[in-house]
Structures are given as structure tokens and as C-alpha cells.
Amino acid sequence: MLFLLWLVPAAPFFGAVLLLLFGSRWPRKLVALVGAASIAVAAAAAGGIAARFLIAPPPGHALTLHLWTWFSTGGFHPEVALYLDPLSLVMILVVTFVAFLIHVYSIGFMAGDAGYSRFFAYMNLFVGSMVTLVLAGDLLLLYLGWEGVGLCSYLLIGFWYRDPANGRAARKAFILTRVGDTAFTIGILLLFHALGTLEIPQMLARAPAVWAPGSGFAMAAAALLLGGAVGKSAQLPLQTWLPDAMAGPTPVSALIHAATMVTAGVYLIARMHLLFALAPKVQMAVAIVGAATLLLAGCSAFVQTDIKRVLAYSTMSQIGYMFLALGVGAWPAAIFHFMTHAFFKALLFLGAGMVIHALRGEHDIFRMGGLRPVLPSAYWTFLIAGCSLAGLPIVTAGFYSKDWIIASAAGNTALWVAALVGALLTSLYIYRLIFLVFFGPRHMPVAVKPGLAMVIPAWVLAVLSIGGGFGRAHFAALVTQAAVGAESSALTSGLASLAFLAGLVLAWAWWKRAAVARPAPTFVERFWYAGWGFDWLYDRLFVRPAMSAAAIGRGDFIDGFYRGIARWFGAASRALSRTESGNLRWYAAAIAAGTALFLAIAVFL
């Protein structure tokens, strides 16, 4: 069964190829069947592989499946090889299963869209690229999947490309993540130069023998990988693309935020955690970046008025928790939070999609309200996901993963306090959202009720958002291959529970006041709403100077040279066009003269 590992990435890619080639001519039912079934095959294969891996693990709890040699030059022979260990096993299980549920949901959500087959083709390509990324046996194949998810995010964020705002959002995501990707590319080249291999297991085995802890090469390589991770995972300072990525369809948002794209950076650092352990200052930088993003994004989420932008800032904040855990060396806690976050964040977006769908595209949470009795499935599933996100004690999956991270940060007081404040902010903004959308008077009529294709995946994720956190110690033992317990403490759990309760009470008090009159935003709230001014800053530091330089250089001699070439060819074209007279005698004479000239050249030269 383990040797069917190739099927996990192959099935989504095969579905994407079929849909791109034939989907526009197929009926919608067949498009939906191929789109969802290809992901179902990948998920089923991942499930069977997981069962076999747990029952009869391969030697060393790792398997490398060599498929073929990519190319061979100068002693460099990179292979297309898939690497399976407990970390990649968890990732493919979560990615394929959550993606399958989102595909089923999309059948109902995208039912009336003109680009139906194109949507499923892009989604399949997205999943295939993400699975390739997490199963890659070397950094070159990982980079191929890395760039694949970047391409697919561009295609899906700008899916409704007729709206210029969507195109701008797609370009913004593509350009900003390219900044991080450039750092990642340089990091890969540095690692190959220093270690002589790109195969991840060999690289991690050689690094401690070649580099002493804290060495310059180790610090530089880890810093460059961190640069790539902050771009893909929307962490400071490359986070500004993620809120605008809400321009894409809601299922796209669910897939990007729950199982693909933004979790790629988390996976990269977790996969290379041994390298980061050799660069302790960079590892601490990972924690600081995560803590800062956690707090800044939490504040911004509290003041947003678009339901999807609240969830976008929430994703930035929760990825910040994962970075914090990675930075303190608790990478199993980060991956555990990745898993629980995939369940409840996908569910939050699916619930938001049901609300938006029912209100004919409305996104403003202040125009919603009172939807609890008319959209019961949306309400209950969204409430369950919100409770898991906020960390409702004992009951929800989010409590167990967040508690593990907070306990892991206890060795650093500043990071520990930041994690607790983040828990308070999370509870505050998500319950503000729940109260505004589902409670109070109704401001808009419900036009469409969600169908079973949208409701069933939401309830499956609701179950996982509750039960997905149990067995934390078993999870820790699986991914570390050691009989260790997941960190926790009564003090941490108690303070996290108090933070949850405080956020709930404050959100209730804020909503009761807002129900009387919508509060005017203060200067600080407007600042938070604008994402702490990062777009404004980048516009003045980078965009405007680049545009000014382009305007200055618009009429320089280089452009004049190429315009001269274009004019010359234009003139030659006009001269040659005059020979097209329609006179057959001139054509025959030209052919005879050309033949004579050719023979003369052949004879005399």
C-alpha cells in the first residue's frame, strides 16, 4: 500500500488535466464528479497509506519512493522522489481530506458560475501542488510544489478576473510572495553549495557535521528559508496580500487558509527544524515574528466589517501561533495546531460562504444580523468553529492545540504573555462576529437556503472541530517517534480559559452597545482596520518610487533605439506590401528572377 504513494499527487493532477482539456465541453455534473472524485481518490489513498504506516511502519519510520531521475548534469542527479514520514503523513491526510470536503461544498456554492470547469481544474491543480510540496524528497521538488501553489493562488484569487479589483488582489499576492520566494531560492542554492545535496534527509544529517551551532552559514541559510516562509504564510512583514486574497470565491479562501498555501511556510520550517536548531537567533526570530503577527492581526480582525476579512486576519493570527511554536522548538505543537486549525478555519469559511450565498453576495457584517433561526446549519456549524478557534476549554479541538503552544512558550515570559493576549483577542473578535451575524434584529432577507452539498461538509468539519483535539499525547508520540507527552500545565490551561471567557464577555458587552448605535471608529480602530498602515508604507517606500523611476525612464535613449527598430520594420513592411499588386506577370517575373539569382549564387559561390 505504501508504494501507492505516487497516487496521492497524481490523482489531483490527472483530474486537473482532464478538466483543462475537456471540462468546457462536459456537462456540469461530470465536471463536478471528476473534480471531487480525483481528490477523493487522493484522500482514500492517503488514508490507506496512513493505516498501513501505523500498522506496519517502514524501517526508520520513513519511506522514499524514487519515481525517476529529473535530469543529470555535472554530477548533479536530482530525482523525482516522494518522502513519507510521520510529518508528511499528517500533512497529506489533512490536506486531501479537507480539500475533498471543500470540493464537495463547491459543487453547490459555484453551481451557477460560468467558469465552473475552470474553477475545479484550478482547485485540483492547487491540491496536487500542495501534496507535491509536502511529499517532496528534496528541496528542488519541494520548490516546484511551492511555486505551483503560488501560481494556483494567483489563478484562484483572480478567478473573477473581469473585476479589476480581483486582478489587483491576485497580482499583489503573486508579487509579495515572490519576494519571499527569492529569499527561499537563494537559501536553496546556499544549502546545496555548503552541503552538496538537496535531498532533505541527507541535508539534515550532514548539517550538524558541517556547521557548528550559531555558525554564519547556518544562520544565513535559516534566515533565507524564513524569508520564504513569511511570504507564503503571510507573516510580518509580507502579510499584506492575505486580506486582499478574499477577492476569490469563498471555497478558494477556505482552501488557501485551511489546508494549502499559508501553511506551506509552517511545513517548511517544521521540515527543516534541525537546521533552525543550528541557528538559535533565527529560530528566536521565527517566534518573535509569530508573536508580533499574532497580536497585530488579532487587533485588525476585531475592527473589520467584511466577514471574510475578519477570517483572513484570523488566519494570519493563528499562523502566528504556529510560528511562535516553531520558534520555541515545539514544532509538533505547531503541526498539531495546523491540523485543528484546518478543521475549524475551513468550517468558518464554509459557514461564511453559506451566509454570503444566502444573502446574495453581501459581505458587510453590520448589514447581517438575526440569521440564527433562518440559517440553523450555518449558525450551529459557525458557532462550533468559532468556539474551537477561541479555545472553548475541554470541549473543542482548538483549546488543546492552543494550550500546547502556550505551555511550550512558558520558558520565555514575553512570548508566553503574547500567546495569552492572543487568546483573549481571538475570543473577542470571533464572538463579535458571531453576535453581529446571527443575533439581534435581521437587516436583510434570506434569498437562498444552502443545499446538502454545502451543509454536509460543514457538519463533518464541525465534528472534527470538536473531536480533532483529543489524543494530543498520541499525536506527539507519532510525529516525534518518541514516547513523550504534549506539554501542558494547570496554570496555562487556567489562564487560557480565563482569556477565552474574558474575550466572550467583552464581545457581548461591545455587541450590546453596538446594537443601540453603530460605534464610530476611533483613530486607532481606523489604523487597525487599514492593517496597521503597511500598505500605505509599502506604497510610499516601493511602489511610488518604482513608478516614478519608470516614468523618468519612459523616454530614454534605450526606448528610442527599440522604437527606431520598430519603425524600420514598419517601413519595410509597408514597402513590401506594395509588391502585392495582384498582377500575375509581376509575380512570375519575381519568381524567375529569384530563381536565377539563387542559381547564380550556387554556381559562382
Q: Which tens digit of pLDDT belongs to each residue from 443-474?
A: 899 988 999 999 999 999 999 999 998 888 77
Q: Are residues 461 and 567 in the same domain?
A: no
Q: Are residues 595 and 458 in the same domain?
A: no
Does a structural domain hold residue 255? no
Does a structural domain hold residue 254? no
Q: Return the ∠ at Cα 105 (arms to 104 and 108), rounded to 5°.
A: 100
Tell me the three cell numbers of residue 2.
Answer: 505504501
Q: Are residues 399 and 463 in the same domain?
A: yes
Instruction: Please determine, for residue 481, whether its predicted confidence score (pLDDT) is greater than 80.
Output: no
Q: Give the predicted TM-score (pTM) of the model.
A: 0.91
Of 463, 492, 519, the domain-final residue: 519
Q: Would you state the torsion angle of the CA atoms of residues 234, 240, 241, 244, taken in this order, to the nearest 10 degrees?
A: 130
Instruction: Please determine, for residue 485, whether its predicted confidence score (pLDDT) is greater than 60.
Output: no
Does a structural domain hold residue 431? yes
Instruction: Please determine, for residue 220, whether its predicted confidence score (pLDDT) is greater than 70.
Output: yes
Instruction: Please determine, for residue 582, whether its predicted confidence score (pLDDT) is greater than 80.
Output: no
- Are the C-beta atoms of residues 301 and 313 closer than 8 Å to each other? yes
* DSSP H helices in 359-483: 376-390, 397-408, 413-438, 452-467, 472-480
Quote the number of domains for the chain.
Answer: 2
- d(CA 183, CA 229) in angstroms, rounded, equals 9
Q: How many CB atoms lie within 10 A of CB 557?
A: 7
- d(CA 601, CA 605) in angstroms, rounded, equals 5
Q: Return the ∠ at Cα 468 (arms to 420 and 349), rounded to 5°.
A: 75
Q: Which of 155-159, 479-483, 589-593 has the lowest mean pLDDT?
A: 479-483
- d(CA 177, CA 308) in angstroms, rounded, equals 21
Average pLDDT over residues 397-410: 94
Phi, psi of 290 (to 5 degrees): -65, -45
Q: Are residues 321 and 399 in the same domain?
A: yes
Does a structural domain hold residue 406? yes
Of 469, 498, 519, the domain-final residue: 519
pLDDT (0 to 100) of residue 74: 77
The tens digit of pLDDT for each residue in 158-206 reads 999 989 999 999 999 999 999 999 999 999 999 999 999 999 999 999 9
pLDDT (0 to 100) of residue 366: 92
Instruction: Please determine, for residue 35, whether its predicted confidence score (pLDDT) is greater than 70.
Output: yes
Q: Return the ∠ at Cα 325 (arms to 310 and 465), rounded to 5°.
A: 50
Q: How many CB atoms lie within 10 A of CB 455?
A: 19
Q: Are residues 370 and 417 in the same domain?
A: yes
Q: Are residues 506 and 357 in the same domain?
A: yes
The tens digit of pLDDT for each residue in 192-204 reads 999 999 999 999 9
Phi, psi of 344 (to 5 degrees): -80, -30
- d(CA 396, CA 22) in angstroms, rounded, equals 43
Q: Are residues 403 and 341 in the same domain?
A: yes
At 587, the pLDDT band (50, 70, 90 cuts) reads: confident
- d(CA 159, CA 328) in angstroms, rounded, equals 38
Tell me the three cell numbers of residue 482.
Answer: 518518541
pLDDT (0 to 100) of residue 486: 62
pLDDT (0 to 100) of residue 270: 96
Q: How many residues does the chain have?
A: 605
Of all residues in the chain, the percent with pLDDT exceeding 70 is: 98
Q: Are residues 337 and 471 in the same domain?
A: yes
The tens digit of pLDDT for each residue in 267-280 reads 999 999 999 999 99
The tens digit of pLDDT for each residue in 79-92 reads 899 999 999 999 99
Q: Would you state the torsion angle of the CA atoms of residues 282, 285, 286, 289, taken in this order, to the nearest 10 degrees?
A: -160
What pairs with residue 63 in β-bridges?
Answer: 84
Does a structural domain hold residue 210? no
Question: What is the 8-class DSSP label of residue 138?
Answer: B
Average pLDDT over residues 84-103: 96
Q: Which is more confident, 126 or 113?
A: 126
- d(CA 145, CA 126) in angstroms, rounded, equals 9
Range of the domain at 488: 304-519
Q: Would you state the torsion angle of the CA atoms of residues 113, 119, 121, 127, taken in this order, to the nearest 10 degrees?
A: -140
Q: How many CB atoms lie within 10 A of CB 491?
A: 11
The tens digit of pLDDT for each residue in 284-323 reads 999 999 999 999 999 999 999 999 999 999 999 999 999 9
pLDDT (0 to 100) of residue 484: 54
- d(CA 436, CA 518) in angstroms, rounded, equals 11
- d(CA 370, CA 252) in angstroms, rounded, equals 27
Owner of C-alpha cell 482596520: 529
Q: Would you state the torsion angle of the CA atoms of residues 389, 395, 397, 398, taken in this order, to the nearest 10 degrees?
A: 30
Does a structural domain hold residue 98? no
Q: How many CB atoms lie within 10 A of CB 380?
A: 16
pLDDT (0 to 100) of residue 553: 74
- d(CA 564, CA 74) in angstroms, rounded, equals 43
pLDDT (0 to 100) of residue 605: 65
Q: Are residues 464 and 586 in the same domain?
A: no
Element (H, E) at 81: strand 79-84
Does a structural domain hold residue 276? no
Does a structural domain hold residue 595? yes
Q: Are residues 428 and 562 in the same domain?
A: no
pLDDT (0 to 100) of residue 149: 95
Q: Are residues 455 and 321 in the same domain?
A: yes
3-state SS class at 573: helix
Task: Provide the sign of the torsion angle of the four alpha carbons 568, 547, 235, 386, taken in this order.
Answer: negative
pLDDT (0 to 100) of residue 257: 85
- d(CA 141, CA 128) in angstroms, rounded, equals 13
Q: Are residues 592 and 507 in the same domain?
A: no
With a CB cutoff of 8 Å and minimum separation 6, the contacts of 555 are: none
Q: Is 117 exposed, middle or buried (0-12, 13-18, 19+ CB in 10 A)?
A: buried
- d(CA 131, CA 134) in angstroms, rounded, equals 5
Residue-averaged pLDDT of the chain:
92
The tens digit of pLDDT for each residue in 532-581 reads 999 999 999 999 998 888 887 776 777 778 888 888 888 888 887 877 77
Tell me the three cell numbers of residue 566.
Answer: 520598430
